[in-house]
Structure 1
Amino acid sequence: MNTFRTLHRSILMLFAVVVVAIVTLVHFSISKIVAEQSRAQQQSLSPAISLIVEQLLKPLHISDALGHSTELVDLLNQDSVDSNAAFSTLQRLEEEFGLSFFIASEKDRKQYNADGTIINLIEGEVSWYFKYRDFPADAVADIGKWEDTHLYIDIKIHNKEGEFLGFFGVGKSLRSFLEIFDSYKQEYGYDFLFVDKEGDIMLSSDPALVATYSDFTNLSELPWYASLPLSIQNEQALNNKLVTINEKDFLIAEVKLNQFGWTVFLLSPLEDRQAEISQAFIFSVVTLLVVVFSLFLLIYNLLYYFRKDMQPDLIVRQTNRLPEKDSLQLIYKSLLAEHGSLSVVVVNVDEMTTIVDAHGRNTGDDILDKVAIYLSEKLRDQDVLGRWSSDEFIIFLPQTGPHVALELAQNLRHGVATLPPLTEYPDIQITASFGISYTASVRPLREVTAHAEDALYQAKRDGSNLVRMQLID
């Protein structure tokens, strides 16, 4: 009974562990998927941000830093710019930074380029200069030089008195942008759109959308954009929007480029994102199944262990099942009739109640079996061992006088006291007390055992692990 109670508790505990493990793994799986979504989003943004920093913000910061240099301020603060000094400075900067620089002078209305060319800044012919001269921002970005389209970053230069002296800037060919965009698209799979506040596409990874001869493509001209609700179009709020382009789904991520007043839209193919998230989901599910399967294997092995552990107990207790009181009555009469006399020994295992209370009934049964096996092995062939009560045995010794019975009982008592303890409970010392009686005439069994029990109780009162004898008057 105690074994089944332990088994029941173990199964309940394992069931609780399984439930907790499943809940934990489901939570882990959901967290893993969310984390994978965030990672995929971050993975798509990180290269784009690196590209923006390298190709746009870095030239902007270089131009801004150089535009405040004393050399350039002094150069433009002259009534007439020294062209040789201007070209020398621009060429040196181009070699040092690998960018194509220019200066535009307000005083002599000329633009000096690093390639040695000069452009006269005539109002009506060169629109950008006069457009951005009165522009409130100190840094602007524009598309120009249409025969070889360039992106220009223009920095306003002022002298110490705050007087506007002109522009210093950097120009980059759009061909270089297209090559870089194409390499990023091949590696990461997404497209770029750099859009100004009016919705004009300033830069794009799609060559068909790049401006030619001041003809810009507007977002509203794109079929997928035109299919969006007007509220989204008016605010250009495309972040995390799902769109369909050429029968393929794309997820849009949005990055603000406040230095230019632009917004960068990244169009990521949803198939790639789905594949990454699906892999994370499959990994989480496989992990969940492996853990659950492992737990069920543990339960199975535990059940097998208990079954294996119980089976030998059942076999031992069945093979050593001793005759009970009803059978002992008949055995007593038969032995007394055959032999004419016999000694009766009642054996009680000491402290059995305390052991059962402390360690359970199963432990008590193990000790009783151990004692029963020992007694069976040490008795003579004609002797009979029986079960007298829950923690008592009875021994019939035919044709054995009380003194021989006393000597035999002393040997048995010593043997029980020296039995090795149970493996699970090495601290439990097994001992037994013995009470002896004797009859050489026909008497009821209860009369003989009453004297043997009185002798047993005397052994208990004297300290246990003793042998006492009480003969019939």
Structure 2
Amino acid sequence: MNAFRTLHRSILLLFAVVVIAIVTLVHFSISKIVAEQSRAQQQSLSPAISLIVEQLLKPLHISEALGKSRQLVSLLEAPTLNEDEVYETLARLEDEFGMTFFLASEDARMQYNSDGTSLALKEGEVSWYFKYKDVDAPAVADIGKWEDTHFYIDIKLFNDNGRFLGFFGIGKSLKSFISVFETYKQQYGYDFLFVDKAGDIMLSSDPDLVASYSEFTNLTELPWYASLPLDVQNLQALNNKLVSIDQEEYLIAEVKLNQFDWTVYLLSPLDERQAEISQAFIFSVVTLLIVVFSLFLLIYNLLYYFRQDMQPELIVRNANRLPDRNNLAPMYQDIITHHESVSVILVDIDNFGVINDTYGRNVGDEVLDKVATFLTSSTRENDIVGRWSSEEFIVFLPGTGPHEATEIAQNLRHGLATSPPLSSHPQLQITGSFGVSFTASKRPMNEVTAHAEDALYQARRDGCNLVRVQLID
């Protein structure tokens, strides 16, 4: 019976372990896939953001910092503009920062460039100056100089009284952007689109989409964009959208560039990301299968072990498998060491001698086996059941007080008296007498069991099928 109970508990434990392992590994697999997606997204966005900072935001911050220079304000608010000093200042800045600079004077209505050229700011001929002069923004980004298309950042300059003096800015050739974008695309495989709020493509890693001679390509002119739902087109909400370009799937990531009122769309080839995520998924599935297979091998070996172990149990009776008096002594000592308090119950089969004389030794063995099975199945997991003599059993109740022990003994007595009779002798009623003792200190086992024996004898004298208690003074 003990083997069956152990087997049952082991199978339940292993089943719980298998379930927990499967749930944990599924959770791990899903987490890994999500993490791999995030990693791939981060891997694409991090270099992209670095590129945006280096190519766009850095020039913006340089122009904003230089735009606060008192030297530039002094040049523009002077009664007579000193052009030589203007060219010298702009040339020095170009040498220092490696970018094209310009200064546009409101009073002189002239634009001076760091390459030594100038341009008269005539309304109707130069549109950008008059277009952005009245715009309520301190900085403007624009594309211009169409014979050699440049990206410009225009910073408004004011004197201390708030009077508008003109523009100071930075220009970068779009050829330099295309070169940088091409290098990035070869390294990471992604395409860029810098789009203003009107949908015009201001910058792109695709040279065919770059503006020339004031002709901008609009998003609506792209076939893949035109295939999107109208509500997506109207809001230009493309983040995490899947699009098909030249029969290849792309995933779009969206970054707002509020400094220029632009949106950057990063087009990621989906095939490469799917390959990375598939590798992580396959690894997780293989790990899950290995763990599950290992656990089922463990269950199979455990069942084989118990199948081998159960055959002798069918021959050796349960009563004879219980620890005897000699083996109980170290168990008692271990209980006293770890729990200090222990209750002891002695159980005697009523009229066992009469049963042997009337029905024979085989029936007597069946009765012993029935009582042993009943006691082991009716006691708690940490309780110990043993053989005390030929017809007596003993139960150790670790950490159990006398009142609880008495209640347990009463339940055992009642359970034994009401248990089904032997199938071979249904008229034979089996009962037992119970003696209870208790110690809360490290007393020898013989001293505690002696009081339990006295209580047991008292139960016999009082008529059997009773529980009596005798505590140590």
Measured against the shorter chain, the TM-score band is 0.5 to 0.7
How far did 1:428 drift?
A: 12
Whether the 8 Å contact between 2:195 and 2:263 is mirrored in structure 1 is: yes
In the alignment, the residues of structure 2 paired with residue 117 and residue 250 of structure 1 have an alpha-carbon distance, to the nearest angstrom, of: 44
Per the TM alignment, residue 431 of structure 1 is displaced from its structure 2 partner at its CA by: 9.8
The one-letter code of the counterpart of 2:49 is: I
Distance 2:80 2:309 in 1: 106
Structure 1 unaligned runs (5+)? 322-347, 360-385, 392-426, 434-459, 465-473
Is the Cα–Cα contact under 8 Å of residues 193 and 266 in structure 1 kept in the other structure?
A: yes
Residues 317-360 of structure 1, C-alpha deviations (whole Å, 9 max, x = no match): 69xx9xxxxxxxxxxxxxxxxxxxxxxxxxx964799999999x
Q: Deviations over 1:27-77 (max 9, x none)?
A: 222222222222222222222111111111111011011101112111211
TM-score by length of 1: 0.66
Structure 1: distance between partners of 2:61 and 2:287: 49
Checking the alignment, whether the CA contact within 8 Å between 2:328 and 2:386 is kept in structure 1 is: no
Partner of residue 464, structure 2 = none
SS of the aligned residue for 2:212 comes to coil
Letter in 1 for 2:103: I
The answer on 1:233 being equivalent to 2:236 is no
Amino acid at match of 2:253: A
Cα distance in 2 between the residues matched to 1:233 and 1:213: 26
CA distance in 2, matches of 1:47, 1:276: 18
Q: Is the 8 A contact 2:110 2:119 kept in 1?
A: yes
Q: 1:56 to 1:390 in 2, by over 3 A?
A: same
Deviation at 1:161, TM superposition (A): 0.4
How far did 1:171 drift?
0.5
Which range is displaced more, 266-275 or 201-210?
266-275
Give distance in 2, aligned partners of 1:15 and 1:288. Answer: 15
**Which amino acid in 1 is paired with 2:203?**
L
Matched, 1:223 2:245: no
CA contact (8 A) 1:80 1:107 kept: no
Distance, in Å, in 1 between the alignment partners of 2:199 and 2:385 is 89
**Distance in 2 separating the partners of 1:19 and 1:350:** 42
Q: 1:349 and 1:202 mapped to 2: Cα distance?
A: 94
Of the structure 1 ranges 136-145 and 107-116, higher mean CA displacement relative to structure 2 is found in 107-116
Task: Quote the residue 2:268 is aligned against.
Answer: 268
Partner of 2:80: 80
Partner of 1:281: 281
Q: Does the 8 Å CA contact 1:103/1:111 hold for their aligned counterparts?
A: yes
The Cα shift of 1:293 comes to 1.9
1:281 Cα deviation (Å)?
A: 1.3
- Structure 2 SS opposite 1:167: strand
Cα 1:305–1:95 shift into 2, 3 Å: farther
Structure-2 separation of matches of 1:137 and 1:304? 82
In the alignment, which residue of structure 2 is the partner of 1:31? 31
Partner of 2:209: 209
Say whether residues 1:153 and 2:153 are aligned partners. yes
Q: By how many angstroms is 1:108 displaced?
A: 1.2
Code of the residue aligned with 1:199 in structure 2: it is G
- How far off is 1:141 after superposition? 0.8
Deviation at 1:292?
Answer: 1.2
What is the CA distance between 1:154 and its match in structure 2? 0.5
Match of 1:124 in 2: 124
Structure 1 match to 2:56: 56
Deviation at residue 14 of structure 1 after TM alignment: 0.2
**SS of corresponding position for 1:125:** coil
Q: Distance in 2 between matches of 1:80 and 1:282?
A: 75
In structure 2, C-alpha distance between the alignment counterparts of 1:59 and 1:287, rounded to whole Å: 50
Equivalents in 1 of 2:12, 2:327: separation in Å?
30
Between 348-357 and 159-168, the greater mean CA deviation after superposition: 348-357
* 100 and 10 in structure 1: CA distance in 2 versus 1, 3 angstrom threshold: same
Letter in 2 for 1:146: W
SS of the aligned residue for 2:124 comes to coil
| Structure 1 residue 389 displacement after superposition | 6.4
What SS class does the counterpart of residue 268 from structure 1 fall into? Answer: strand
Q: Is the 1:155–1:169 contact (alpha carbons within 8 Å) kept by the matching residues of 2? A: yes
| One-letter amino acid matched to 2:80 | S
- 2:259 is paired with a residue whose SS is coil
Shift of residue 195 of structure 1?
0.8
Deviation at 1:306, TM superposition (A): 4.0
**Counterpart residue number, 1:99:** 99
Larger Rg: 1
The aligned counterpart of 1:108 is 108
Give me the identity figure in percent: 70
User: Contact 1:103–1:112 (CA<8 Å) still a contact in 2?
Assistant: yes
The secondary structure found in structure 2 opposite 1:254 is: strand
After superposition, the Cα gap between the structure-2 partners of 1:306 and 1:171, relative to the gap in structure 1 and judged at 3 Å, is: same
1:282-301 Cα deviation digits (max 9, x unpaired): 12212211221222233234
Residue 190, structure 1, aligned to residue 194, structure 2: no
Deviation at 1:390, TM superposition (A): 4.9
Is the CA contact (8 Å cut-off) linking 1:79 and 1:107 kept in structure 2? no
Q: Spell out, residue by residue over 1:339-391, the C-alpha distance to the aligned partner (whole angstroms, 9 max, x if none).
A: xxxxxxxxx964799999999xxxxxxxxxxxxxxxxxxxxxxxxxx999659
Aligned residues: 349
Task: Report the CA distance shift for 1:354/1:221 in structure 2 as closer, same or farther (over 3 A).
Answer: same
- Distance in 1 separating the partners of 2:333 and 2:363: 24
- Residue 267 of structure 2 aligns to a residue in which SS? strand
**Residues 388 and 238 (structure 1 numbering): CA distance in 2 closer, same or farther, change over 3 Å?**
closer
How far residue 180 of structure 1 moved from its aligned partner, in angstroms, is 0.9
Quote the residue 2:248 is aligned against. Answer: 248
Letter in 2 for 1:224: W
Contact 2:255 2:263 in 1 (8 A): yes
Q: Is the 8 Å Cα contact of residues 325 and 386 (structure 2) preserved in structure 1? A: no
| 1:390–1:81 Cα change, 3 Å | farther
My pick for the range that moved more, 55-64 or 274-283, is 274-283
C-alpha distance in 1, partners of 2:208/2:58? 26
TM, length-normalised to structure 2? 0.66
- AA of the residue aligned to 2:15: F
8 A Cα contact 1:93 1:101, kept in partner: yes
Query: 2 CA distance for matches of 1:91 and 1:297?
Result: 80
Distance 1:355 1:313, change over 3 A: farther
- Partner amino acid, structure 1, of 2:30: I
